[in-house]
Chain A
Amino acid sequence: MNLTRNLLLPDEDGHYAPESLAIDRARARAIALGHHPIDSIAREMAVNETRRRFFSRAARGLGAVALASIASENARASTGIQPAFGGLPDLPNFTPKAKRCLYFHLVGAPPQMETFDYKPKMAEMFDKDLPESIRNGQRLTTMTSGQMRFPIAPSIFKFAQYGKSGAWISELLPYTAKMVDDLAIIRSMHTEAINHEPALTFFQTGQMVAGRPCIGAWLSYGLGSMNQSLPTFVVLQANHKLPKANVQAISARMWSAGFLGGKYAGVSLRSSGDPVLFLNNPDGVPTEVRRRMLDSLAQMNQIEYERLGDPETRTRIAQYEMAFRMQSSAPELTDLSKEPDSVFATYGEDSRTPGSFAQSCLMARRLAERGVRFVQVYHRGWDVHGDLPEVLSSQCKEIDQPLYALIGDLKQRGMLDDTLVILAGEFGRTVYCQGKLTETNYGRDHHPRCFSLWMAGGGVKGGVVHGETDDFSYNITKDPVHVRDFHATILHLFGIDHEHFTYQYQGLDVRLTGVEKAEVVRRILT
């Protein structure tokens, strides 16, 4: 807590300093109603209006006040002037390149050899056994550890080189191919977990067992919010289209804030029902009635505050106002009707469908524009143990064009430079086949020893391909990047030294990157 702060203002937790109560009551009341940055509405109420006049203009007048302030925030967003609320006083450690992050996670883990890690020599190895020297005693999941043999399944998808960088991209990702010069592709990722649940938790929190804060929570905690009417960290769950795709579970623990505290946890933005849980007033309660109820509530709470002097009461008054602001700004956020047809055309027609990956990309851009710090999108259906060609074709098609559109859109709006975009899965897949191998069909098991992901924007250099794997995409041969390094790199882009960014829990200085050495992947930085 920054203790040099003005005692008349609440701290980043929204709590008022008890000392402020030493000031006389009249002033205290003025503070309660006036000085909190989000109290402008309440001040309006107290100072300007008699009750009746107030109510008669509530619908237009106050709504307009609220909207005006949101609009001004949006204006700030577009000019890039976004003061942070909350956050640690000594962060960032150095000038950040990224102000926000849009992170797309492909749940189930896409195969690297069908996407970014081209392995031409495998073509001749069809149905040959994976050499023991390559497998080298690596542990296997119990799904394939009982297999009699490990026949190699070469990717049936063609690759070609694209862009100035000449990166090899699979035919499954034609749009991605067009933007390789904006991407840093890491082909040498590796992790420690071999099954989804722990691997996802590890990717998100740096630890396999639940309970640690995830990346988005760390950033919210460290850097605070860039807006006053939307959550700092938003989670979207995009539906996949192919019913037969093998789906893995996700859970709230993936976006939990662990010991950092619930207010840093991701808030789900839902594609049906209330966009934020319980956001909408019940049927029959329009904004003006809610506003009137809140004014009356604030008056009664103010009496309570004057009776008992509990600073938490003032925090509560402020939080109800914040809730009201959220109610006003979320519909504006989720209302896509003002997006021109050309935008939908760029993101693909799917982007008109609520809950689609394409719409999530568009929504991610809108969230970024409005000052949301971290957007996490989950897309399921990537666990291709069987029927890989069919399932993967469908999955890739869903994400390819929208991501291309997103990068282009961000660029056009001048936001790519300070918006970090990430596409990743939680591990890779085996070159050998799981189940029956034919010329046209196969499946792949989990493989933690190497996999690919890409990052773009926000201080990441485009047109970079980092790391190499062996001919089998089984072992890393150059520039390994551990999940910890990935975390360190994200924090670095946000101007944070990952070794210094700690939180004391159970006596230990816990950090996202854990206790072992983690290094920023400098080669991919601008």
Chain B
Amino acid sequence: MKRIVVLGSLKIDRAQKGQHARPNSRYPIPKLFLRREASLLQRQFAVLALFSSGLSAQTARVDFQREIRPILSENCFQCHGPDSAARQAGLRLDHHDAALAVIAPGKSASSVLFQRISSTDSGFHMPPAYSRRALTPAQIALIKRWIDEGAAWKDHWAFQPPAQPKPPSVANPAWVRNPIDRFILAALESKGLSPAPAADPRTLIRRVALSLTGLPPKPSEVEAFLADTAPGAYERMVDRYLASPHYGEQRAHFWLDAVRYADTNGYHFDNYREIWPYRDWVIAAYNRNLSFKQFTIEQIAGDLLPNSTLDQKIATGFQRCSETTNEGGIIEDEYAEIYAKDRADTFGAVFLGLTVGCAACHDHKFDPISQKDYYSLGAFFRNTPQRIMDGNASDQAPFVIVPREQDRTRWAEIESRRQAIAGEMAHARDAAAVPFSAWERAQLTAAPSPLGPAIYTADLNALSFSAEGITLAEAPIAGHRALYFTKAGGATETKPPKVDSENPFSIAVTFLSPKSDNYNLASHQNTKDKNRGWVLDVSNRLASFRLIGDNGDAIEIRAALDQIPPTTWNVIVASYDGSRVQSGLDLYLNGRAIPTQGRNNPFTKLNGAINVDDPLILGKSLADGAISKLDILSNAVTESEARAYNDGAAGYFLLREFAPYRALAAEDEKLSKEAKEIAKQAATTPVMQERASETPFAHVLFRGAYDQPRERVEANTPAVLPPMSPSLPRNRLGLAQWLFAPDQPLTARATVNRMWQEIFGVGLVKSADDFGSQGEPPSNPQLLDWLAVNFEKSGWDVKRFYRQLLLSAAYRQSAVATPLKLKIDPENRLLSRGPRFRMDAEMIRDYVLAASSLLAPQIGGPSVKPYQPDGIWESVAMLSSNTRFYKQDSGPGLYRRSLYTLWKRAAPPASLEILNAPSRESCTVRRERTNTPLQALVTMNDVQFIEAARALAESAMESGMTFTSRLSYMSSRILMRPLTAAEQGIARHAYDDFIRYYDAHPDDARKLLNDGERKGDPGLPAADFAALSMLANQFFNLDEVLNQ
């Protein structure tokens, strides 16, 4: 009997250690465990005797799921588990039928499993010494007992669809407020524990406000709640916070960890990435209580929904939050793998609670996820036109333009009208066939260019070039001869036209693309002046147009997605409107405006002149290609002009001579101009897009190596989970819908567990990202399943779910811990008391901003740069990175909620990072929560906290004349409660000492009052003000404040 209790405690204890368990300590540690548990045991027995219940649990049969499988997983699965390649002796112990080969139910003595684990013969003993795994005597005894009891087997809990268990009956039903409480109370009662009394109303409203909005309640809200004595006051208070727009912000900060949201690209240059519209989508989605199902589907596959809206496209930013690189020299296949793995890992951790990435190099060691499963899952995310090299762009394609709210309607109107015009233009073209023939017959000379008069047209005969590298020959375009380049070097124009940066100009080139992916079409530059001038070239088959001014600083536009196939004839028109900014550049490929990167890059501007005295060079590195035409024009070119240029004489006729078409083109141009103006004010945000030409696939990679592809696999879901219905498309949309199939065991569990974790501090499954065999089993499996089914049945209603948690008696308990509870329920996993845990980094900062009324209320928008010590970015950044220098904001940017702080991955916001905010480099569904001296330094000394303390002191001084009234003002804002007499005494004494110091040191008082941007009111008595500020600083550092 004693032994069993020991084992029970042992189990809990090791589980609590979670990832702190040290495998290499396996030999010595378990003995220590036993020794210590034995001594604890005696106390525990006394306790159990006192409470007299729960003893029956000691005689219960061994629970395979909870007690046996973890032992097998930990010690046996590496060699006898799911990984077929590593499997020894053909034996697997993760599978019932296979395991029966070594287990004789009811007969431990004749079970090979037991014989081997209990053998003293080192050659026969399992696990073998080299594995450095070992079972404790207690574990061996447990397995023996399990076999003798019949070796009952259940497949791993997480892969079984949750059944909705009936809430258990309890001894004290009066405590129960909703079904959650029955599960909690039953567990407590079985341990001989009883719940804590309800928390007082002030504690409760603070807890609710923090849980739901991440902000402390305002004093007026506290008073209103206290004054509401009618039944349902608590529910009404909860509902008020659920309706707050800050609710979405609070929810979002958790979700942004999971989706690894950040404002930079991550690797190498770590340049700015504009993706905040996605962040705002998340906030809004929570606020409008989008069902979790729709929330998920839109983020995984919003672009694939029929008639998808702009918002649904923005939602797919979920998958564009991943890190990207532009490091020169990288091998693209390698990074294609890294990107796909990141997406599969994130999907697995968030929606399945599985560590699928473990199967990248070999079958998963512990969970039934094969390597093939992993690559099949990754295939869903690989069918994207996204380039591997991100171009260090803020708007890496594919992206959408997100107009300001006030422009949205007009934007949509323009878009639909332009689509209609395109149709009407096609009709007009058809109608123009006959008049065009007549007009063409009447022309005596070749039709002029529809682009307007060229200031320069390359005379191919006159260009100087080395004869051996270039030949002049007939091009397969009527009326054109072309320069065919056989070598690099190009043809030189010694008297090129001069264009300048002040005025518009355009370059139009008709060319035959070479076999290579990188080539130069035309350039007019001074290499001795940091390449001042302009250049039109192609890299990675993507056209780019660059204007270089002073110091080599350039504005550049680069085709985002439209690659130019090798050995084809094409027309590129590059246009510049004279505005010196990137948005003034346009690229047209074969008569079509193409999506480009870098439009609204706020970091670059063209300074100085671009006209140079050097020659213009055509086809500098165009070996195997040809140029048949190059025009330079003195105007910016519109899309209809570019289209007409591409169509030659017919184009000219349509655009200039044929009235019906001309009118349409004029309207289109007007709309396009208007759209451009809107786009200048708009944001861009990266989105997902499917490569239309392909169905998703991937190759299994030998040991995960990018250059060792093996079997080709189609996109598919892991075999251990219910298969995708044949009616679902085999793409991201099908994948998203599969998550919500009725028999899906993981989606709901993983989701309710994360939501639980947000509210109670720890998930029912502590390893929120690992529901697999090495994860921690749920602390209350029935409750987890009940919540999962309940959530699903509610239509995945998120607000309803949180409301349900907050209405439970379990949530409303006081956080008082008794020695008994600390012993039996040390981590509060059973909820023997109310939740109490340190707030997340963002909440701590937001808390002081709110309490001091500094908080800027704006929701959403571009990320901001609040206070940060100097040099944090600079010390890690590349010299040319546009996030090298941190230019701190002024005014409201300093006081926005922390989820709006610009998140640079290579150097995350310093004070937040110290308080355990993740770097956002990869998916995080569970933050660590440490308690360190560096954190104390932040909340004591960060100028943000000092300024908040002072702002609070200032308003306290304005609120009343006496110290007592000021103190109570401060405590009502920081603690939401009056201070006790003892606390008042402590505060008073400290204040007296502070003021004595500052009376004697007025200079120091002045310095303290001037720290930060917002200076203290100089009209207030300085010593008093400084002393009160220090007291506020002290209050902000209270354990009570830092905990929610």
Contacts and interface: CB of A to CB of B under 8 A. Distances in A.
Interface string B24-61: 11001100110110001001000000000000000000
Nearest to B820: A22
A248 interface: yes
Given A21-B822, A252-B919, A290-B940, A282 B1008 contact: yes
Contacts of B983: 300, 303
Contacts of B986: 296, 299-300, 303
B270 A251 contact: yes
Interface residues of A, number: 102
Nearest to A17: B826
B270 A249 contact: yes
Interface in A267-288: 267-268, 270, 272-274, 276-286, 288
B476 interface: no
A122 interface: no
A501 B907 contact: no
Nearest to A510: B23
B941 A279 contact: yes
A251 B905 contact: yes
A511 to B, nearest CB: 9
A278 B822 contact: no
Interface string A299-329: 1110111011111110111011011011100
A506 B771 CA distance: 10
Contact of A310 (B36, B817, B881, B1026): B817
Interface string B1007-1035: 11111000000000000001000100110
A303 B986 CA distance: 11
Contacts of B878: 247-249
B25 A90 contact: yes
A292 B990 contact: yes
Nearest to A509: B23
A92 interface: no
B191 to A, nearest CB: 14
B38 to A, nearest CB: 11
Contacts of B872: 277
A21 B1003 CA distance: 46
Contacts of A295: 990
Interface stretch (B305-313, B848-856, B1036-1044): B1036-1044
Nearest to B817: A309
Given A4-B32, A304-B1038, A504-B21, A319 B819 contact: no
B714 interface: no
B936 interface: yes
A296 B329 contact: no
B946 A301 contact: no
Nearest to A146: B518
B328 A143 contact: yes
Contact of B817 (A259, A262, A308, A323): A308
A248 B270 CA distance: 11
Contacts of A312: 838, 931, 1039, 1043
Interface string A221-239: 0000000000000000100
B654 interface: no
B329 A305 contact: no
Contacts of B459: none
Interface in B815-852: 815-819, 822-823, 826, 836, 838
Interface in B952-1006: 980, 982-983, 986-987, 989-990, 993-994, 997, 1001, 1003-1006
Contact of B1008 (A88, A262, A285): A285
Nearest to A283: B1007
B937 A277 contact: yes
Given A251-B906, A299-B986, A323 B937 contact: yes
A14 interface: yes
Interface residues of B, number: 115
A304 B19 contact: no
A293 B914 contact: no
Contacts of A293: 940, 990, 994, 1030, 1033-1034
B773 to A, nearest CB: 7
A3 B33 contact: yes
B331 A278 contact: no
Contacts of A278: 869, 910-911, 914, 934, 937-938, 940-942
B937 A276 contact: yes
A195 B325 CA distance: 11
A283 B1011 contact: yes
A55 interface: yes
Contacts of B99: none
Contacts of B21: 504
B515 to A, nearest CB: 13
B24 A501 contact: yes
A286 B941 CA distance: 12
Contact of B20 (A1, A276, A283, A509): A1
Contacts of A506: 355, 358, 770, 774
Contacts of B1026: 284
Contacts of B181: none
Contacts of B19: 259, 503-505
A249 B1030 contact: no
A211 B921 contact: yes
A272 B73 contact: no
Contacts of B871: 270, 272-273
Contacts of A315: 931
Given A251-B876, A507-B772, A272 B1034 contact: no
A281 B938 CA distance: 10
Contact of B22 (A143, A313, A503): A503
A284 B1006 contact: yes
Given A252-B876, A290-B940, A501-B24, A143 B1038 contact: no
Nearest to B767: A506
Given A210-B922, A272-B870, A296 B931 contact: no
Interface string A479-512: 0000000000000000000001111111111000
Centre residue among A263, A276, A286 by max chain B CB count within 10 A: A263
Interface string B119-141: 00000000000001000000000
A394 to B, nearest CB: 16
B826 A508 contact: no
Contact of B1037 (A55, A141, A263, A320): A320
B811 interface: no
Interface string B741-766: 00000000000000000000000000
Closest 10 CB pairs of A and B: A507-B774, A284-B1008, A141-B329, A284-B1007, A251-B906, A18-B822, A296-B990, A323-B933, A283-B1007, A323-B936
Interface of B: 17, 19-25, 28-29, 32-33, 35-36, 40, 43, 73, 132, 267-270, 325, 327-331, 338, 355, 358, 365-366, 518, 770, 772-774, 815-819, 822-823, 826, 836, 838, 869-872, 875-879, 881, 905-908, 910-911, 913-914, 916, 919, 921-922, 928, 930-938, 940-943, 946, 980, 982-983, 986-987, 989-990, 993-994, 997, 1001, 1003-1011, 1026, 1030, 1033-1034, 1037-1040, 1042-1043
14 contacts: A14-B932, A195-B327, A249-B881, A261-B930, A263-B930, A284-B1006, A288-B997, A310-B1043, A312-B1039, A320-B933, A500-B24, A502-B22, A504-B774, A507-B772
Given A195-B329, A273-B871, A508-B358, 10 more contacts: A1-B20, A90-B25, A90-B28, A249-B876, A251-B270, A253-B906, A295-B990, A303-B986, A316-B1042, A503-B23
